[in-house]
Amino acid sequence: MATAADPAAPGAVASATEDNRPIRPRASRDEIAQRGVIGVLVLYLVLALVLPIGMVFSKALQQYAFTPDQITIAFGRGGAFEAPRSLQSWIDETGYVVNDGLRASERTRVQIVRIIPRPARAGVEAYRVTDASSAGGQLLLGQEFSAPGQTIEVPAADLGRIQVRPQMSYGLGNFGYYFSQKSLSDSIRNSFVIAAIVVAINVPLAFGFAYALTRTRIRHKEWFRLISTVPILVPSLLPAIGLVYLFGNQGILTPLLFGASIYGPIGIVMASVFFTFPHAVIIMTIALGGADQRLYEAAEVLGASKRRTFWTVTLPGARYGLISAAFVVFTLVITDFGVPKVIGGDYNMLALDIYKQVIGQQNFQIGAVVSIVLLIPAVIAFTVDRVISRAQTAQFSSKAVPYQPDEDVRRDRWMLGHCIAVSVFILGILFMCQFAALAKFWPYNLTLGFQHYQFNKMDGGGWAAYWNSIRLAFFAATIGAVLVFIGAYLVEKGRGFVAGRIGLQFLAMMPMAIPGMVLGLAYIFFFNDPSNPFNFLYGTMAILVINTIVHLYTVSHITATTALKQLDGEFEAVSMSLKQPFLRTMTRVSAPCCLPAIGEMWMYYFVNAMTTVSAVVFLYSPSTNLASVAVLNMDDAGDIAPAAAMAMMIFYTNAAVRILYGLFSRNVLGSLQAWRAR
């Protein structure tokens, strides 16, 4: 603690005591409390984010190879043992190809009987096999690994029971293997191509929609705005399931594809456009909403045509929004695995590869390698987005006059058409899912009923999964909102301890750059290690809550700091001079003022905790099954109608919570926020 004077401290206040030591002002009790809280939050983010991610890197470097030169075998003939010979010399002599020449993985095993041909073993009564390595574990007999230097003696008939295990070392071998596998490294290209196509479709689409909401006089804007946010309320699996019903072999709209298959790039692109659309619209609405009427008046006075005004005023004004939306959409597509899982057919994507390597093949090392490959675009996109958002704040001046769209019937008619088309696409998919969930046996028996809601008879965890999801969403939202707000408050309004505050700010921004799948995998590596004191969390609801809070930390943190920035620093100055602890200022002044933002954070946590699949798919246990994961697993098993039913349950829940929150904020928050009105 900084209460003790440090003679070497350069920033120490230059007043001297009797023994001539410079002293610094004593940290007040309040400052110590602040440091403590910052320390706890930093520790939390280190334990729940930094260390697990570090494990991914270390796992990716673990490579396995056979070391037969460290195994010797001696033949026992006529009651005596001959001189031991290394297994390597046998391999050299017989030309045996270990493991068919394939790279060994953690679980590859080779039998000694395969290496030493039977004729060479004629007349042998017993064998002594020695593990000559210093680490041990070269040999496996029945259930036991060999100890360093251990010699196992077996009768001739039991040599078949001795297996050789590969040894672990650290190196870049897994990366070399990964890039040598065409089917794996093709995923990189596929992911980039798909993400680029979705950006190319979605950015103009969302721009048009946001333009209609901000720059036209079409009616029912609030309805269109509401519809455009619907995809946020559902897991990304839902549009993929809806598209199977619409465009699959038995789909209503299948002829529109002219013989092309929905399974593959077409389906992935369409479903990805659906689930990333609201993110692009929100960013673009903000970018277009801040226009300055004076620029348009100037353009008109200068005689610029509407087209010219659009290209020279409107678009440049929204450029940051366009770039930001493009990067956000790109990252969302490249890190999502739900869509390609359901509708991707055999089209490999990066995020799906992680799932396949870990769940399908139990190959954790390669899963870690793909994770690191996936981290690169996510980190780049994140960096660009941060740089841009900083540039954007400088754009608005206090003299700006809000833009008022002029009367233009033709423009409005086109824009209304655009909004209706997009809304039909969104609601059509939703409606299709609901219908399919109720149809008795699609497509042969369309009688409606609720039999697909009997989740307890399916894979995926049943109704318990649904209630678990609600518990998770509630805990993550409530704990998360409080935690993030305290952290943001200390970063924004705290005093002193600059290093701690900068550190917390940095850690708070990190989760956005980490794809959910990578975080989930990192948690397996970190928390499932029996030597980790937090191992007891593995498989519990707590680990899901911890993971979800971290996974969604950044956006909430930004929301909170933005709201706090709007509050005058004088509050803290006044409360400090009145010797009030920060906790009181925060709970009595800042938090009530920021209640709308805290509410938004709570909603954001809740909705995303209900829909997320990627982060939790590696972490749920059978007693903590989740609704979103159940959708995935039911679709996986081919129970696609119940999957649609569960996905719609998630939608209804989120929509209901959203509406309740809307009512709550209008009535309660409205009265609390009365001070904002003049």
The verdict on 181 binding another protein (CB under 8 A) reads yes
CB of 138 to another protein, least distance (A): 14
Tokens at 282, concatenated: 């929100």
The verdict on 541 binding another protein (CB under 8 A) reads no
Binding residue (CB under 8 A) for another protein from 150, 528, 540, 673: 528
Q: Which of 202, 205, 222, 204 is nearest to 214 (CA)?
A: 222
Binding residue (CB under 8 A) for another protein from 346, 407, 568, 570: 346
The verdict on 443 binding another protein (CB under 8 A) reads yes
Write out the H or E segment, with its range, that includes residue 85: strand 85-86
Measured in whole angstroms, how far is the alpha carbon of residue 48 from the centre of its chain? Answer: 14
Binding residue (CB under 8 A) for another protein from 248, 278, 494, 500: 248
Nearer of residues 356 and 418 to another protein, judged by Cβ: 356
The verdict on 530 binding another protein (CB under 8 A) reads yes
Q: At residue 232, what is the residue type?
A: I
The verdict on 621 binding another protein (CB under 8 A) reads yes
Binding residue (CB under 8 A) for another protein from 71, 129, 232, 244: 244
DSSP string, 392-455: HTTS--TT--B--PPP-HHHHHHHHHHHHHHHHHHHHHHHHHHHHHHEEETTTEEEE-SGGG-G
How many Å apart are CA 582 and CA 576, to the nearest integer? 8
Question: What are the counts of helices (DSSP H) followed by strands (DSSP E) for the chain?
Answer: 29, 13
Q: CB–CB of 338/354 below 8 Å? A: no
Distances (CA, A) of 249 to 39, 255, 267: 57, 10, 13
Binding residue (CB under 8 A) for another protein from 29, 118, 182, 307: 182
The verdict on 440 binding another protein (CB under 8 A) reads yes
DSSP string, 505-540: HHHHHGGGGS-HHHHHHHHHHHHT-TTSTTGGGTTS
CB of 28 to another protein, least distance (A): 46
Nearer of residues 140 and 286 to another protein, judged by Cβ: 140
Nearer of residues 69 and 636 to another protein, judged by Cβ: 636
Q: CB–CB of 13/23 below 8 Å? A: yes
The verdict on 459 binding another protein (CB under 8 A) reads yes
CB of 623 to another protein, least distance (A): 8
The verdict on 180 binding another protein (CB under 8 A) reads no
The verdict on 457 binding another protein (CB under 8 A) reads yes
> Which of helix, strand or coil describes residue 164?
strand
| C-beta atoms surrounding 573 within 10 Å | 11
Q: Given the structure tokens 């929509």, which residue do they identify? A: 655
Per CB under 8 A, which region of 82-90, 244-252, 369-377, 414-422 contacts another protein? 244-252
The verdict on 515 binding another protein (CB under 8 A) reads no
The verdict on 220 binding another protein (CB under 8 A) reads no
Q: CB–CB of 95/115 below 8 Å? A: no
CB of 147 to another protein, least distance (A): 14
Distances (CA, A) of 105 to 113, 142, 146, 177: 20, 20, 19, 11
Binding residue (CB under 8 A) for another protein from 21, 109, 308, 413: 109
Per CB under 8 A, which region of 66-74, 379-387, 435-443, 659-667 contacts another protein? 435-443
Binding residue (CB under 8 A) for another protein from 34, 105, 335, 654: 105
Q: Which of 614, 554, 562 is nearest to 379 (CA)?
A: 554
The verdict on 135 binding another protein (CB under 8 A) reads no
Binding residue (CB under 8 A) for another protein from 95, 142, 255, 402: 142
Measured in whole angstroms, how far is the alpha carbon of residue 293 from the centre of its chain? Answer: 40
Tokens at 665, concatenated: 């904020």
Site string for another protein, 64-83 (x = CB under 8 A): --------------------
Binding residue (CB under 8 A) for another protein from 3, 89, 169, 249: 249
The verdict on 449 binding another protein (CB under 8 A) reads no
Binding residue (CB under 8 A) for another protein from 70, 72, 108, 276: 108
Backbone angles phi, psi at 22, to 5 degrees: -65, 145
Nearer of residues 178 and 606 to another protein, judged by Cβ: 178
Binding residue (CB under 8 A) for another protein from 174, 272, 633, 653: 633
Residue 81 forms beta bridges with which residues? 76
Binding residue (CB under 8 A) for another protein from 163, 167, 229, 434: 163
